[in-house]
Amino acid sequence: MPCVGGGTGIAPVLSIVRGAIAEGMNNPIHLYFGVRSQQDVYDTDRLRQLAKDHSNICINILVATGQAGEMQRTGLMTDALNLLVAHLGVSPEHVYADAFYPSGI
C-alpha cells in the first residue's frame, strides 16, 4: 500500500498507516514523505521507530533540493512514485491523487 504525504501533509497519512496496522494489516506499506529541503524533514525518530516496530513498513523520505541525510533520497516524490507504481504493475487508471498547492501560486 503506497502512502504519500508532503511536508505537514504526512500527519494524516501517518494516521491512515497507524489505523491500518491497528486493524491487523500485514501487507507491505510504502510510506513516502516528500519535502523541499533537508531543513523541512521532521519526526525522523518516530518514523524510524515505526519501521522498526512493523517490518511491513518501508519509510522513504525524499528531499527535492540539496543533499539528503540518513534514511533519505534526493529527487521529486512524484518521480519516485511513478517508479513504484510501474514496478507494482498498477494501471494508471487505478492511481488517484489530490494535489494541494500553497495559496497565491
pLDDT above 70: residue 103: no
- The CATH architecture assigned to 2-92 reads 3-Layer(aba) Sandwich (3.40)
Of 38, 28, 40, 29, the closest CA to residue 72 belongs to 38
Of 52, 53, 100, 60, the closest CA to residue 84 belongs to 60
Domain ranges of the chain: 2-92
pLDDT of residue 102: 65
Q: Please write the tens of the pLDDT for every residue from 17-27.
A: 999 999 999 99
Q: Please write the tens of the pLDDT for every residue from 59-70.
A: 999 999 888 877
Q: Where are the beta strands (DSSP E) in the chain?
A: 2-6, 29-35, 57-63, 72-74
pTM as predicted: 0.79
Mean pLDDT of the region 10-16:
94
Q: Please write the tens of the pLDDT for every residue from 34-78.
A: 999 989 999 999 999 999 999 999 999 999 988 887 778 898 888
pLDDT above 90: residue 2: no
Mean pLDDT of the region 82-97:
83
